[in-house]
Structure 1
């Protein structure tokens, strides 16, 4: 009889931000690895469990999707998911999971909620701190995205090193879509130089630093395009100053985002805190030079393929933008090194590492029972 491995697919009912992107790419990569016989599932039955209010379809051959329960959201996850996943091991990919399940794996992508609580709404902060405290203790395995985040988890929670598995994310998804350059005209960017920032508008992304750097560069006739939505239910609003050279694109789809990356002078990502930082790798994949901050996991992920700024010093960021704008040789070097760096981050490698770790959890269970 096959061993059931369940995947918490509540992410299919949510808007796509970083963790939902991770979960969807995880499932697609896992399906591809099975199709190509890299992962053997003769012993396992792979099943996604989701509440009924699905927003997106996910087309895979080797992983079942079962719609279960009558509830939705956190209530479904806490009250119904434990019942429907009781016969197997549950894998949670998006920071959350049922507190009443002691046979599960959880992915915790960062500890921003703990290190920078001021950036989050009160209800969100309280609930997630409770969840993290319980899940880190009760889960068989904790997955995270960087050695930086692993160290954070081990400092904050009583976790043994072997209980935390690091697996870097992939970034090749940006290469799968065709560029839609209509967004350039739509934002009135034809014949304009612009730098690009991409993220949900929240204080940890440090957009104000980029805006202040733009003031220093006002004689350069350069624009800043900010692409990304906002969720006040999660984050405290980012209070940004108005500047005539700032263009708020809001949410853009993937073909539009690719065009914005490809046409930008550079990509700027001066975050205060990141557990991984996927957008810089997306930019590198598409030949857009990256300037990021020295904070948290970003040097670990970007290596020597980006320029770095002090996240508290907008003159530092302005100087790096000037360098990219004025030095064609430097810009080309960053483009070449960035593409090479991005090729090292692939979703299938990420998923193979995690699936092997999940299998080890099941093997350990079997040994303990025998």
Structure 2
């Protein structure tokens, strides 16, 4: 196999679940495949990580233009690995990770320019690329059905979650949002409609007389997502029983998980579901929507509810918060489930596919 090149455009992007996958796999490939190259445009946001990977900054443009027009010129005939849903559509000798089929399945969750481009690009990559990786059997089925990607091109490679165990803690987040010593449920995600935080807020307002808080962390890109009007994404907003804490650091997030009574994931469409697995890895018991890939990924480690039924969600939350034995049981099951999802295993499966595809 010619020297593998990794599309490291993720170094120019804020780290969400998609970029987390790219970071953790890339770190391991750097050691497992010593001659691998990491190529990025300018505008790197994560200088320490770029240095760790030995990333090369090439080209004069940025974003999709760099990826489509400039990146192919720097491959020198080597195969390309892209880990973040996007890749040059002109290339055939490449492997691409497409995490889900959300631009097809939940178009209302995305801005019109974003979903138009991604629908076109995903279909093109699915037809032209040597192989496509995705996170779950659910996503593989969705990509076959909605994007017409041939089944023999698709390989399911689940994500890891053990990065959260290597993260430090920052308990200042508890004081900043008046959470120290308080019971609360944590939710993490964007204000995109398919994350279903509008329903969670309706439930939270209905349960305002309960002796616990709802804490919502995360942010949204207006260029990508169609933001749900009912979800106030302002991190400064607080009221008596809801805390919107906005974007948090990894250390702050770990602290929030570890001090929560539980984690709730209301999404009605999910290609994998990394935050509930992070919670499980830290011993935070989980409630989840029974939707998308979530039952496949979380298995018996979560208490499930119907994300389209506010009353069912409220009943699950009330049962969860009133039953310490249930929470302990879910905590134990969650730890077992999370232990099966390591980034070492993910990287090994990625490397096996690279070798099987390119020799």
Aligned to 1:24: 23
Tell me if the contact between 1:31 and 1:60 (Cα under 8 Å) persists in the aligned partners.
no
Aligned to 2:258: 262
Written as runs of structure 1 = structure 2, the 5 A alignment for 1:128-277 is 128-240=118-230, 244-277=240-273
Query: For residues 144 and 346 of structure 1, what CA distance do their matches in structure 2 show?
Result: 16
Q: Deviations over 1:205-260 (max 9, x none)?
A: 10112112223322212211110011111001122267642111001001110110
Tell me if the contact between 1:93 and 1:107 (Cα under 8 Å) persists in the aligned partners.
yes
| TM value normalised by structure 2 | 0.94
Aligned to 1:102: 92
Aligned to 1:38: none
1:351 equivalenced with 2:350 (yes/no)? no
| TM value normalised by structure 1 | 0.92
1:12 equivalenced with 2:11 (yes/no)? yes
Query: For residues 319 and 307 of structure 2, what CA distance do their matches in structure 1 show?
Result: 17
Q: 1:116 to 1:60 in 2, by over 3 A?
A: closer
Query: For residues 145 and 42 of structure 2, what CA distance do their matches in structure 1 show?
Result: 38
Q: Secondary structure at the match of 1:159?
A: coil
Moved more, 265-274 or 157-166: 157-166
Aligned to 2:236: none
Q: Deviations over 1:12-34 (max 9, x none)?
A: 011111211110011112234x2
Question: How far off is 1:161 after superposition?
Answer: 2.3
Q: Where does the alignment leave 5 or more consecutive residues of structure 1 unmatched?
A: 35-40, 364-370
Q: CA RMSD in A?
A: 1.7
Query: For residues 290 and 205 of structure 1, what CA distance do their matches in structure 2 show?
Result: 16
Aligned to 1:300: 296
Tell me if the contact between 1:276 and 1:301 (Cα under 8 Å) persists in the aligned partners.
yes
Aligned length: 353
Q: Secondary structure at the match of 1:197?
A: strand
Aligned to 2:60: 70
Q: Secondary structure at the match of 1:169?
A: coil
